[in-house]
Structure 1
Amino acid sequence: MAFAAYSFLRWITPTSEAKAAPIDITRVALTVVAGVGGVVALVIAYRRQRDVEQSRFVERFGAAAAQLGATDVAVRIAGVYAMAGVADESDGLRRQQCIDVLCGYIRLPYTPELGGNHQTKDIRKHPAPEPSGPETEQHFEYRQNDREVRKTIIRVIADHLRSDAEYDWSTNDFDFRTAHLEDVDFSRAAFSGSARFDGATFTGDASFGGAAFGNGAAFHGATFTGDAAFDGAAFGDSAAFSEVAFGGAARFDRATFSGDARFSGATVTGDAEFSKVTFSANARCREAVFSSMARFRETTFASVAEFSETRFSDRAWFGDVRFSGPALFSGAEFGNLVSFDDVAFSGAAEFSQATFSGDAWFDKTTFSGTAVFGEAVFNSHARFGKSMFTSGVAFVKTTFDGSAWFDNVSFDGIAWFGEAMFNGSAAFSKSIFSGEASFDEATFNRAAGFDGVTFNGDAGFDGVTFNSDAEFDEATFNGLAAGFGEVTFGGLTRFIRATFNGITAGFSRATFRGDTRFDHVVFTGTAGFFGATFGGTAGFAEATFSDYARFDCVKFNGLALFDKVTFSGPAVGFSEAIFRSGAGFSKAAFASQTSFLATDFGSEQIVFTEPRQWGPPSPGFDWSDGGEGRPANVEPADWPPAVATS
């Protein structure tokens, strides 16, 4: 080698006039040889060390595995610690192999009822199926006292996943799929690698409180027979709890889900605790079943929150929840009290076809997106007091079997209540409808209160049925139209001091079966009562009609009171109207053309005494201006009536 190095250096050394001394070249050649030799020695030493370590790993790994396979429980427990020791002194793939063996042991078939006994074999003999045939035997072999071995494995793994562990296994993968786990405690454990618990069975209580799952948590199809504690857990990626069966309580208080959280098809037999949880991505809980109380207080849903067709058998609390994305509860079933008080829905709120068997509380709730309750059923009381609907809201074909409270509600967008069924009392007192309000074809079977309500958009009540009292006292209609066409008012109807500022207020062909009060009402636009029927007393005392007033073809079956009414619009029509029980127009003001032509005044007293104004032109009747042909029941006897002086 020295000769070769010497020749090489002679070849690469630049030539010059002065010749290099042979001794110098020889020294350099020896230095190069020494360096190369050192490198070769290091490589050989590394390979030898690697082979030694591999041989040592294989030897220790094999010995630990053999101990885990022993029949004696003490040997198996020793094997657990031996395998953990091998993992501690290894890294990378070797450590993962050790962990896989420990997890694989947990996945072996296991019968909890036999986990703590000393039985090793069970032989069962069966008689021959035929008289001449041999009998058969079945041999069942068991690992003696295997419960302690399995508990040791879980304890060792959990200890290596906590922050105070001497050797950290948190970056490794753990596969517990289909495993049977008893009274496991993974509290404060950190799973930075994959954590697979799909199809696992947790017997007894399972604790994952404060655990951190950095690379996803998979519990799909798992079964928890006792309480499951995930309070304060952190899920850095997706968390799969779909089809999970929680036999006891499920506690997720203060947990954080950074990725998608899937609970679809899950069943929770005990209490479900999800208060102060943060869902940063989608939260899917479709077709889940909560058999006991479910709490989601002060929880934040940053994206889609889906509870479609989910069943809440007991009370459900969603108070102070923040839904930043769509909240989907379509087809959900609430079997007991449910509270959405002080909730903020920033996206769409979908409750179509939901069923509320107990009280439903939505007091002081804010709906910033579209809210849909179409075809929902409220079997008990529904409360929406002081809530805000900043976009459209739909209660189309919704059924309210109990009381429905919408007091002091702000409807900033379109509000649809078409074909809704109110079987209990309905209260909309002092609410504000800034957009269109549609109650067309709705049914109110008990008292309906709209007193003090403000309608800034069109108000549609066409075809509505009020089978009991309806109160619109001091209501304000600022929209272009207020439609009550063909409405049926079955009880007492009150519009006292209501104000109609729109172009039209339409009550055409409406039916008022009970007493009706329009006292002190102001009609700025056209007031249309064409073809309406008043079954009881109809009171319009001191009402003001500033535009057209149409009472043509109206039937007043009860007393009609228009005392001190002011008709100042272009025309007033009572043509072909029928007064069956008398009418009072005393001190009324007829400031424009008024027609009583073809009017049937019946046989009861009709009073036109002391009008405050009598035209011009004078109101038109089927008799002369001097009173010739006037029915005897129409007063005063001296016709035309004398205008009041004060």
Structure 2
Amino acid sequence: MKPRRSDGSDETIPAAPRVRWLDKKDGRRLIVFTSLGIGLTAGLVFAVMTIFVRLIGGEGSWWRIWTHELGDGQWFEASRVTVALVALTVAGGAAYLAYRRQHTADQNQKTAAETQRITAQAYALSIKQHDATLRRERRDRFTDAAAQLAHTSAAVRIAGVYAMAALADDWHAANDPAEVQTCVDVLCGYLRLPYDPEATENHQTRTTVTTHQFIPGGRTVSGQVEKHFEYRQNDREVRATILRVIKNHLELSAAVSWGDRVFDFHSAVLEDFDINRAIFRGPVSFDGATFTGKTTRFDEAKFTGEQTTFDGAKFTGASTSFCKAEFTGKTTLFDGADFTGERTSFDGAKFTSGWTTFDGAKFTSGWTTFDGAIFTSESTLFDGAIFTSESTTFDWATFNSSHTSFHTAIFTGKRTTFDGVEFTSERTTFDGAKFNSAHTSFHWAKLTGAQTTFHWAEFTGEHTSFDEAEFTGEQTSFHWAKFIGNQTSFDGSRFTGEVTSFDRPVEWRNVYFDWDPKPGRVATAVKPESVKPTEWPPKNFTMESDETHT
């Protein structure tokens, strides 16, 4: 695998010098020495042969061995000894040459290894120097981009946005997430700067807020305090550019993804925010953010980071949509969020976080819909939430959390419906909830969890319907509930759970079951034994009756 520079480019380590055993000069020298070796070997054979022949003959010439008269056996013996001595000598020489050759090869190998080590060190040093140069260049680019974002000209600021994004991509290629995060923080930080869409339109550059000074005890003292808010001219397009750049880096098809980064939009003013199909894999905060403009769209966005928070966020745009959005992180929070636009939709959204909370959230839009939404978090909480929309619907939603709670939630407006909803949570509570809508409906609802309670709940609208609902959980309780609407009906409802109790209601008016006679209609069924109290209809709760019951 090729090494990579800090800028992501491939780099090849220079090859070590190749060791050459022989060049042309060495080849000629080898031929000469080989011929010389053959000549010396022949001379040695002749000399040794001469000596042995002379020793065997005992007399005669030392050099003219052919003059000696020896028997065949003597000649053979002289030849054999000569060959043996010469072979031994040649073998020794060959061994010495082999040793010298191996020694030379070892030395050459060591030299090559040392050369390669020095080359690698030089290469590593050059890469280090190259990386240091790149880091300095990128630091300079960061400074320049930040300066552009602070420029008075909108065109220069837009150029700064793209420069900062390009720098983040380069840091990503260099596998340096911390530096990528820094660039993302700068872009998010720009969105958190003071911004007023109306002031931008009328070219207002400054807002001054004057307040009186107070001392402990609430008394006013002389003097006033002025707070100044500076606005940048023509800032709408700059902010829109930042949002487009962020969205492009959060899409599934993004060439470079910033999905793993932390996004902090707290207290930001986000106009016409469109982040459809974005994928957030890191923590995201929209705490205290204000969403303005015609539309705010999170359709099919995926939040898989550990924490996603919209605490105290204000959705004031005409339309706010989280259709088919998915929240799968550890925590999803909309506590205290305020939805005031014409329409708010969470249709088809999936909440599978450990905790999903809308505690204290306010839904005052014309239409608020959670139709088909799926809640499978460990806890799903709408405690204290206020639904004052003209129409609030949770139709065909599924609540399969360990704990689902609408404790003290308030439903007003013309219409509130939970038609076809499945409450399969181990514990579902509407304790203290107030259903004040003109029409409240749990038509076809399925209450199959182990425990479902409507303790102290109030049904005060014109018409409340539990028609064809299924009460199949172990225990369903409407203790101390208040039914004071024009009509509350349980027509066609099935009570197959272990106990469904309407005992000790605070008020019981115009409530009809299949076994109750109704104006213009006779009873059509017999009250199941699982429905309590046994004595029907239930008697209104009083302190005395409670003591007697106890």
TM-score, structure 2 normalization: 0.69
Residue of structure 1 in register with 2:468 after alignment: 364
Deviations 1:100-149, CA, capped at 9 Å, x for gaps: 100011111223332234454679999xxxxxxx9999876432222221
1:354 aligned to which of 447, 457, 470: 457
Give the CA deviation at 1:433.
2.3
Give the CA deviation at 1:40.
0.4
In structure 2, what is the Cα distance between the partners aligned to 1:290 and 1:362? 20
Give the CA deviation at 1:153.
0.9
1:314-325 alignment runs, 5 A limit = 314=413, 315-325=415-425
Matched-pair contact (CA < 8 Å) for 2:505–2:539: no
1:158 aligns with 2:252: no
Give the CA deviation at 1:443.
6.8
In structure 2, what is the Cα distance between the partners aligned to 1:265 and 1:297? 21
Give the CA deviation at 1:424.
9.2
Task: Name the amino acid aligned to 2:466.
Answer: F
Task: Name the amino acid aligned to 2:323.
Answer: D
TM-score, structure 1 normalization: 0.59
1:126-525 alignment runs, 5 A limit = 141-204=230-293, 205-215=295-305, 216-226=307-317, 227-237=319-329, 238-248=331-341, 249-259=343-353, 260-270=355-365, 271-281=367-377, 282-292=379-389, 293-303=391-401, 304-314=403-413, 315-325=415-425, 326-336=427-437, 337-347=439-449, 348-358=451-461, 359-367=463-471, 368-380=473-485, 381-389=487-495, 390-399=497-506, 402-407=509-514, 429-435=524-530, 438-440=533-535
Inter-CA distance 261–396: structure 2 relative to 1 (3 Å threshold): same
Residue of structure 2 in register with 1:105 after alignment: 190
Higher-strand-fraction structure: 1
Deviations 1:270-324, CA, capped at 9 Å, x for gaps: 1211010111112100000000111111111111221111000022111111111
In structure 2, what is the Cα distance between the partners aligned to 1:356 and 1:122? 47
- Of structures 1 and 2, the larger Rg is shown by 2
Identity percentage over the alignment? 35
Inter-CA distance 135–306: structure 2 relative to 1 (3 Å threshold): closer
Give the CA deviation at 1:439.
4.6
Give the CA deviation at 1:407.
0.6
Inter-CA distance 119–355: structure 2 relative to 1 (3 Å threshold): closer
Deviations 1:154-201, CA, capped at 9 Å, x for gaps: 121112212233322222211101111111111111111111101111
Give secondary structure in 1 for the equivalent of 2:236. Answer: helix
Inter-CA distance 71–263: structure 2 relative to 1 (3 Å threshold): same
Residue of structure 2 in register with 1:482 after alignment: none
Task: Name the amino acid aligned to 1:405.
Answer: Y
Matched-pair contact (CA < 8 Å) for 2:505–2:538: no
Inter-CA distance 436–199: structure 2 relative to 1 (3 Å threshold): closer
In structure 1, what is the Cα distance between the partners aligned to 2:498 and 2:370? 29
Give the CA deviation at 1:81.
1.1
Which one scores higher on RCO, CA 8 angstroms, separation ≥ 6? 2
Unaligned runs of 5+ in 1: 1-15, 127-133, 410-421, 446-462, 465-646
Give the CA deviation at 1:243.
0.6
Task: Name the amino acid aligned to 1:242.
Answer: D
Matched-pair contact (CA < 8 Å) for 1:404–1:425: no
Inter-CA distance 150–404: structure 2 relative to 1 (3 Å threshold): same
Inter-CA distance 366–139: structure 2 relative to 1 (3 Å threshold): closer
Inter-CA distance 443–229: structure 2 relative to 1 (3 Å threshold): closer
RMSD: 3.2
Matched-pair contact (CA < 8 Å) for 2:499–2:532: no
Give secondary structure in 2 for the equivalent of 1:40. Answer: helix
Matched-pair contact (CA < 8 Å) for 2:503–2:539: no
Give the CA deviation at 1:386.
2.4
Give the CA deviation at 1:432.
4.0
Matched-pair contact (CA < 8 Å) for 1:339–1:362: yes
In structure 2, what is the Cα distance between the partners aligned to 1:378 and 1:125? 50
Give the CA deviation at 1:383.
1.2
In structure 1, what is the Cα distance between the partners aligned to 2:226 and 2:538? 74
In structure 2, what is the Cα distance between the partners aligned to 1:136 and 1:302? 53
Task: Name the amino acid aligned to 1:233.
Answer: A
In structure 2, what is the Cα distance between the partners aligned to 1:342 and 1:104? 48
1:36 aligns with 2:136: no
Inter-CA distance 277–123: structure 2 relative to 1 (3 Å threshold): closer
Task: Name the amino acid aligned to 2:146.
Answer: A
Give secondary structure in 2 for the equivalent of 1:433. Answer: coil
Inter-CA distance 297–192: structure 2 relative to 1 (3 Å threshold): same
Matched-pair contact (CA < 8 Å) for 2:502–2:533: no
Residue of structure 2 in register with 1:599 after alignment: none
Task: Name the amino acid aligned to 2:400.
Answer: A
Inter-CA distance 179–62: structure 2 relative to 1 (3 Å threshold): same
Inter-CA distance 220–135: structure 2 relative to 1 (3 Å threshold): closer
Residue of structure 2 in register with 1:476 after alignment: none
Residue of structure 2 in register with 1:93 after alignment: 178
Matched-pair contact (CA < 8 Å) for 1:405–1:427: no
Inter-CA distance 308–159: structure 2 relative to 1 (3 Å threshold): same
In structure 1, what is the Cα distance between the partners aligned to 2:316 and 2:225? 36
In structure 1, what is the Cα distance between the partners aligned to 2:432 and 2:208? 53
Q: What is the aligned length?
A: 413
In structure 2, what is the Cα distance between the partners aligned to 1:397 and 1:434? 17
